[in-house]
Chain A
Amino acid sequence: MKHAFIDRYSHLQSPVHRLDARLKFILALLAIAVLVSEPPGKLMPFAFYGAIVLVVLILSRLPVRFFLKRLLILAPFFGMAALFYPLSYWLAGTGLGEDGMQKAVLVALSIFFKALLSVSFLILLISTVKFHDLLAGLRKLRMPKLIGILSALMYRYIFIFWDETLRTNMARNSRTPGNLKMNRFTVYGNQMAMIFLRSWERAHMVYNAMLSRGFDGEFLSFGQKETKRKDIVFGAVFVLLLAAIRVFGGL
């Protein structure tokens, strides 16, 4: 079965794809932290962060349509979160006044742009690195060992679960043609429990097979590259740009 929902464009060849997975993760996290720390009320810095996103998008050769589609799916949720800011005062009956309302709208816009740009960095990260390389990179960055093992197991098991889901979907649809009117919750609940039970046995077999091949909690990844000079140069330029925007962007 096809599983295109994970790292769909990670196989592309580009300067961004060739960077060390650990470096990309650190830079994405740093970019998010810096832009989230921007004080609300000034919108100009977000244009500069947007320019960085655009440059990295061009360098990564990702399809712009895919990138925009992901953003468009998520943008309404961010819009709602932003809208709730002035709305939360209105619902509480605490008037903001004209000045207050203007400030609230600026804060709402800041929230929207922060969320949108943060998710842009996340999309760029996950689309330019193979997921198992990213997990291996996180383990090298000393992620807690238990989380490292769980993430490696989950990465194997979700395909088993998803296959079971597709099979049981087919079975459900063939037994209940058209829209379900009655007992909808029971049908979906039983399907979920069935997926869980069927995968349970298979996942145990997968784990036993891993143990018999010498699995000791450590996962090897041959895709992990050594940090090269160009990684360091890219990282340094990226950090300097972020610092410059954070310090001078609001002037």
Chain B
Amino acid sequence: MHIADGIIDARICLAAHAVSAAAIYFAGRKTPAEEIPKMGISGSALFVASLIHIPIAGTAIHPGLYGLAGIILGKRAFPVIYTVLLFQALIFQHGGLLTLGVNALNMGAGAFAAHLIWKQKYLPESIRAILAGLIGVVVPAAMMTLEFEWTGYGQGIRYVFSIYIVVAALEGLFTWIVVKFFRKVKSNILN
């Protein structure tokens, strides 16, 4: 789901960098000192989670956990996701430096949407967790589709990205399992 440098139009990348800078400012301002280790831990968890591959149907997938980041960090997920993507771009070359803003906006929007869903307390927790995990993938995939179309790709790219619906369903399931474990063992993480 990480867009590498050279694929998306450079103007979209520059605009996304500007929006990302504003998002980092608004999401990160007035961060209490005691929140910072929590953000660092969550960032490391997201980074390491991307290294764990789950064998499935002859291939392997890795969880993105952007929905979970939205659940645990709320609006502060954006600076964390930005830092994780910077690490992934530098260390593994997953994504790029010029597309860092685009990727951060995509995943950050997914995490924010997950946060909004998680706040709907009238829904059962299992439904909220599944939907948060699911939306954490669907929103970035939809934004990627738009960015590819703006770059000049044909509308057929929508069919290609529709495959992410399957990934989103698995991510929703995975998020629910993790949330259930947290609720059982250390529920204050979810508050």
Contacts and interface: CB of A to CB of B under 8 A. Distances in A.
Given A107-B152, A193-B181, A37 B54 contact: no
Interface of B: 4-7, 10, 13, 21, 24-25, 28, 31, 36-37, 39-41, 43-45, 47-49, 51-52, 54-56, 63, 65, 79-80, 82-84, 86-87, 89-93, 96-98, 148, 152-157, 159-160, 170, 173-174, 177-178, 181-182, 185-186, 189
A25 to B, nearest CB: 9
B87 to A, nearest CB: 6
A194 B189 CA distance: 13
Nearest to B56: A184
B44 A131 contact: no
A119 B96 contact: yes
Contact of B93 (A74, A87, A156, A197): A74
Contacts of A37: 10
Given A36-B10, A74-B4, A157-B40, 19 more contacts: A6-B91, A32-B97, A32-B98, A36-B98, A85-B154, A115-B6, A118-B4, A118-B5, A118-B6, A119-B4, A146-B31, A150-B43, A150-B79, A154-B40, A161-B47, A191-B52, A193-B182, A195-B45, A199-B44
A188 B170 CA distance: 12
B186 A131 contact: no
Nearest to B39: A150
A204 B188 CA distance: 15
B48 A161 contact: yes
Interface stretch (A50-58, A90-98, A237-245): A90-98
Interface residues of A, number: 74
A102 interface: no
B44 A151 contact: no
A195 B48 contact: yes
Contacts of B86: 147, 151
A241 to B, nearest CB: 19
A150 B54 contact: no
A242 B47 CA distance: 34
A186 B174 CA distance: 8
Contacts of B56: 184
B181 A194 contact: yes
Given A144-B25, A150-B80, A154-B87, A92 B44 contact: no
Contacts of B181: 189-190, 193-194
A35 B98 CA distance: 11
Given A146-B31, A185-B177, A188-B174, A203 B40 contact: yes
A73 B65 CA distance: 23
Contacts of B52: 165, 188, 191-192
A194 B182 CA distance: 9
Interface stretch (A11-19, A76-84, A218-226, A227-235): A76-84
Interface of A: 5-6, 28-29, 32-33, 35-37, 70, 74, 77-78, 81, 84-85, 87-94, 107, 111, 113-119, 122-123, 125-126, 131, 134, 144, 146-147, 149-151, 153-154, 156-158, 160-162, 165, 179-180, 184-186, 188-197, 199-200, 203-204, 207
A115 B45 CA distance: 28
Contacts of B83: 147, 150-151, 154
A77 B178 contact: no
21 contacts: A32-B5, A32-B97, A36-B6, A36-B13, A37-B10, A77-B4, A81-B4, A88-B155, A88-B157, A92-B155, A113-B6, A115-B6, A118-B98, A131-B90, A131-B91, A146-B24, A150-B40, A157-B41, A157-B43, A197-B186, A199-B45
